[in-house]
Amino acid sequence: MKGARLSAPALAYIAGASVLAIAVAAFQWRSKPADDLVLFSVMTGLGMLAHAYPVRGFRHQAYQVTLPFIVIAAATLSIPQLVAFIILIHLAEQARVRRRLYIQWFNVCDYFLSAAAAAAVYQRATWLLPDAGLGHVAAALSAGCAFVLLNRVLLAGALWLARGLSPLASGLFQSELLAADLIIAWVAVPMLVLTLQAGPWMILVTAGPLLLARPALSALLARRHAPERPVVARAA
């Protein structure tokens, strides 16, 4: 998003995303289970750590391995906690990677709307599928896919209006990077199922594969494209 000034369509897009995110949060504010402070604390601490170290991509993108924590948060946290989780992971990133405030605000709205969609998909899937391990596996995968898809679509619109990058030119929908996101989303499945069965501390045990996912994603991005400019917007 070049310069300090945005075009009128880009400003309208960010304003629309802001209004929609606030409306969704207000409408669903008390629609989730009771707060679990231990789960929220463990998830938020690990999510902040993962989100604060983005992997630099190309076409003004950066990638994190925060997705499994977001899927678990969407599936288990209340809406107030989910809002706090999304804000806190972005504050942790902002402390390390300085971005213009309107960019980070859009990222917060993007992530919350995508997480809310993932939560809705997860709840619907668990209602339709058997209440067993397999049902939770399918629901977690569906939630992860919903987050990735909506996150990319929202970001593609922002890059198109603010930078003139079409969805194809942005690289957001390259098959290799979508596959990498889906693999990371797959990690959320055992994390969520074991957390539901054995409690929030299982997140610490099951998050191990993410330590390998980050260098693998770095190598993939470095091989595919050299960075063109400093990162200013992000996909999941």
Mean pLDDT rounded to a whole number for the chain = 81
Q: List 56's β-bridge partners, or say none.
A: 62
Distance separating alpha carbons of residues 62 and 90, to the nearest angstrom: 13
* Three-class secondary structure of residue 100 per DSSP: coil
Distance separating alpha carbons of residues 71 and 114, to the nearest angstrom: 10
1 in a domain, yes or no?
A: no
Which of 151 and 173 is assigned the larger pLDDT?
A: 151
50 has a pLDDT exceeding 70: yes
Domain count, the chain: 1
Structure confidence at residue 218 (pLDDT): 63
Give this prediction's pTM: 0.83
236 in a domain, yes or no?
A: no
Q: Which residues span the domain enclosing 148?
A: 8-224
206 has a pLDDT exceeding 60: yes
CATH of the domain at 14: 1.10.1760
213 in a domain, yes or no?
A: yes
147 in a domain, yes or no?
A: yes
CB 161 within 8 A of CB 14: no
Structure confidence at residue 110 (pLDDT): 96
Among 63, 44, 42, CA closest to 199: 42
pLDDT tens per residue, range 89-132: 999 999 988 788 898 999 999 999 999 999 999 989 988 877 76
Structure confidence at residue 14 (pLDDT): 95
